[in-house]
Chains A and B, each alone.
Chain A
Amino acid sequence: MVNQRVVTPEHLFFEAQREKQFITGSEAVREAIRRANVDLAVSYPITPQSESMHLVGDIYAEGYLKEYFRGESELAVMAEVAGASMGGVRVFTATGGPGTLRAFEMFPAWAGARLPIVCAFLTRGVNSPLSIQPDTIEMAFMLDTGILMFHAESAQDLYDMILKAFVIAERPDVHLPVGVFADGFFVTHTREQVAVAPADLKLPPYDPYAAPVPAMDMESAPVRQMRDPFVMKSNFISYAAHASWQQEILAAQERARKYVHRYLEGLVEVEHPEAAVLVMASGTMVSQSREAVAVARQQGLDIGLVKIKSLRPFPREEIKTLARQARTIIVPEYNRVGWLCREIKAAVEDTTKVVGGPRVFGGMTMPPEVVLDQIRRCCA
């Protein structure tokens, strides 16, 4: 193994001197995992994710991880990282698009078993017709699996969010899986400046003995639960246990809020919260909106921008408060169904303020000009 120095998460995230590298989002995944003290990573290819886990394999060969292998299928990979996580080690994997859907059964299972797995979802269109291009539709499906969800705007976000995800996931009062989502190609294949901490620093190791669900051995709870599951009893206690356990997962998501605040520095990032019209977006749609908002403000329009970094937990209170003083909220998205618009409508008091779209999907790029047109219409 490569000799690295363990430092506190605070030092690695906020204090260590950073160096700028001109790298892609996939390479940013590698740089995050290099510093994440990961024990085991499992890879399985799917565009646009393949490079990320390939590069994690490269740093395994260099001695930054204890174990790494290629799984047999998406479902197998997600089950393998679940087994390793139950065994008490820190794990990482990544997928995207149809890969996410093929593995889907495991995501609520991860949350249900309270496994602090970190997975990068490098999103793309879902077949059919076949597309390998960017689209965030799979995030709509993931919203109610019980996992925490962060959405990266850039390669920088992807690097930072992956590292921070481990720390948030492993808090004993959280202990849930975290999905770090980034838009395929727009982040994974885009080369930009990323500031990274020194490569000889790493996070403290995972402490399985601080977990709320004990690490697996043949006598303790998780195995006991699988060998002797509630469903076999089919009595009042089994239903009550299942219902309360589901609520406990939601409660754990709520308890994650304070750590998302501390490490991600808020669930949202706001520019000009006092503006009459606000653009609310997540992922790379924030980037496109930044350009549009900058031009609109130069032209004297009263417009602000809200970047939503965490989707689970969802910034309900933040959005409700912002919406109170705004006249209109514009929600541009990279998917057809408008799932972020639905989430925002569920949080605000006056849903008539929320204007869904513009939306593009199936691999198209949102021109900032189209967001600007919407801003002009809503400011008129």
Chain B
Amino acid sequence: MKLDPRTKLLLTLVANGMIFTAPLAYSILMVLATSILLIFEGKWRFVCAFFFVYLGAGVFFDAVKSLDIGTSGTIIVASLFLIYRIMPGCVVLYYVMTTTKVNEFMAGMSRMHVPNKVTIPLIVMIRFFPTLFDEARDIGHAMQMRGIRLFSLRTLTNPFSILEYRLVPLLVSLTKIADELSIAVVTRGLSPETRRTCIATIGFRVQDVIVFVYCLAVVALLCGITPFSVILEDGP
């Protein structure tokens, strides 16, 4: 099931907006919707894994709440809880990142009259994430061979060294790749002035309307407009 990139953008905005402004239930509403979309994409493994971890974490926090764990314990649990609250946003981001093609995204942005100057850096970011993981994995291998591990005498006495060993080579190779990438792009004729066409067909379809209405309904529910809540409980 293909969604228009603009719908995905709305989904991301609403889901991320919910994380800190609304009660937990609203985030879960967004996660449920995204999970259905992910299952349509055949990524049910990811959905299962997510719910396993997420529900497990929920049970854990519930159990910990009533215990007396002291100050340092509270700090650790609080920071874990922060990650727990961000997780729903990550699911939506994962969905958008893995299902959106670069040219679809560019077409969507240009339909919204967003200038190329804004779009190009954004898609470079999309392109950069997989590269980042590739490079980081190779560097991890090199570190393993040198015997630099996360928990060793050397790294525990000097915790910043591990950061340095990780980041220095990563930054060097990423700068190089960024430069080569931008050269490749300008020689292919992409510039802020170009008016692109796109072979990907984008446009609003039934599924887009459903997702749009759903997102708006959740927002309305949050803002306390009651008539919508009745529909929501019966509806999707």
A binds B: no
Which residues of A approach B to under 8 Å, CB–CB? none
